[in-house]
Amino acid sequence: MLVDKFQVDSPDVEYGADHITSQYNYANTKVDRDANGKWIVKPIQSKYEFRTSTKLPKLGVMLVGWGGNNGSTLTAGVLANKHGITWMTKDGLKQPNYFGSLTQAATLRLGNYKGEEVFTPFKSLLPMVKPEEIVFGGWDISSHNLADAMERAQVLDWELQRQLVPHMKEQVPLPGIYDPDFIAANQDTRADNIIKGTRSEQVEQVRQQIRTFKEEQKVDKVIVLWTANTERYSNVMNGLNDTAENLLASIERDETEVAPSSLYAVACIKEGVPFINGAPQNTFVPGLVDYAVQKNVLIAGDDFKSGQTKMKSVLVDFLVGAGIKPTSIVSYNHLGNNDGMNLSAPQTFRSKEISKSNVVDDMVASNSILYKPGEHPDHVVVIKYVPNVGDSKRAMDEYMSEIFMGGHNTISMHNVCEDSLLAAPIILDLVLLAELTSRIQFKEEGKELHGFHPVAVLLSYLAKAPLVPDGTPVVNALSKQRAMLENTFRACVGLYPENNMMLEFK
């Protein structure tokens, strides 16, 4: 049973004119060791208050790489939903939807009604901006308008594209920052829409573009997301980008090792605008994270978790959790879109290889019965550019595991996925959840209300290589990431985490 609307009936929850306030008992476990070396595990509870603003802003979303496959596909998809555009294919009439979006197409359990499980849409848990009300804008190094960019991407059915052209042909990306040293040389033919000047001048121009967009579109809040080309890794060096002060000084000196994505992020932080990195490069060098924390501006990343890596974060979690020992993971991909073309350069592929390879680390570390200290499965990632397949990426994986009494188990998987159609809903979720989390404040008993840490751990579910604050465990297991996000939002309306004990039926 699906329930679209509900209200929590609890003395600990108050629905005000502008806020939902929840008094919440946070149950946790403290692990300690006494003087004799004995491990002590103690259940504890802490009292928290959550306060969520229910006033929804007019939201502007600026995409870096707006004219790419992801940006044009997301814009087209939201417009199709907004205008109710249908289209015919050889399989029949198609309706617009948001399949693949956690916020728009997923549900969560509320409880049980007379023996029947009751669920609600994820978006119904807390007030959330509607996708159709988002104002899109952004940058691209290509001057194609969004209609031409959509045609170039070759992602959507032609009959749908044809109906979207009138809505998209007037949407033209702003000039973007282009540095050929950070992306593949094969991107130079697209680069006809570029911000000129030194790095410092480029940052100031991006800041002005954000201000102008906000003023012209009359939006209350802006979120910027990088969905442009994967860059090579930046060198992290003392005196260059190790602290906020050094990073800003390096930009003033026009240091060549400061990447375009980092320049956008700095501009956003200066403007107090959240910045999300949807690609695998190390945009968030130490100095940039330091700067975001100083200014208390949300940053999140890295790299969309869409297809092969999402499956990996589920399957390895299952295997290790079942006491089965993965010993080798080999992942092969080939794709033919511009992302694949850019990744054909070794320096940009290395960024993607790193983000894909680290996804199993926390799962392996969780079971030292299976793995000795320092032991890790062999893990190989290969990506090849094959123009003929276009946006329809092929991913082939082989998982070899050791099982009972020296036996072996091999799981082989062939995943064909339309790359941009998986990534677009993730972009939507990232910006909607980033906006929502910015309206939540909380406090432990006896302390002052405050927002979440600027490094947005709650968005980890959507990232291949989750960015976390220093000292925070990195969690890659998909089920744990979803539980963290869902249970935090449940706490905001006074609902306990789902424990699946179902004692009432035992």
- Which of 383, 394, 397 minimizes the C-alpha distance to 315? 397
CA-CA-CA-CA torsion sign (243, 248, 252, 257):
positive
Choice among 221, 352, 391, 419 that is catalytic: 352
Question: CA of 62: how far to CAs of 72, 89, 116, 162, 197, in Å?
Answer: 12, 32, 43, 24, 21
Choice among 303, 317, 391, 397 that is catalytic: 303
464 belongs to the catalytic site:
yes
Report residue 192 as tokens: 């006809």
Name residue 233's amino acid.
Y
* Residue 205 near residue 261, CB atoms below 8 Å: no
CA-CA-CA-CA torsion sign (495, 3, 457, 289):
negative
User: How crowded is residue 200: how many other Cβ atoms within 10 Å of its Cβ?
Assistant: 17
393 belongs to the catalytic site:
yes
Report residue 439 as tokens: 């309206």
Question: CA of 204: how far to CAs of 179, 210, 274, in Å?
Answer: 17, 10, 17
* Residue 13 near residue 27, CB atoms below 8 Å: no
Question: CA of 469: how far to CAs of 54, 181, 269, 454, in Å?
Answer: 28, 29, 17, 9
Long-range CB contact pairs, 450-456, < 8 A, 24+: 451/296, 452/298, 453/293, 454/292, 454/293, 454/295, 454/296, 454/297, 454/298, 454/299, 455/289, 455/292, 455/293, 455/299, 455/300, 456/274, 456/298, 456/299, 456/300
Choice among 393, 397, 419, 429 that is catalytic: 393
Please tell me the distance from the alpha carbon of residue 407 to that of residue 428, in angstroms, as a whole number: 44
For the chain, the maximum distance between any two Cα atoms, rounded to a whole number of angstroms, is 75
Please tell me the distance from the alpha carbon of residue 434 to that of residue 68, in angstroms, as a whole number: 22
Active site residues: 303, 352, 393, 464
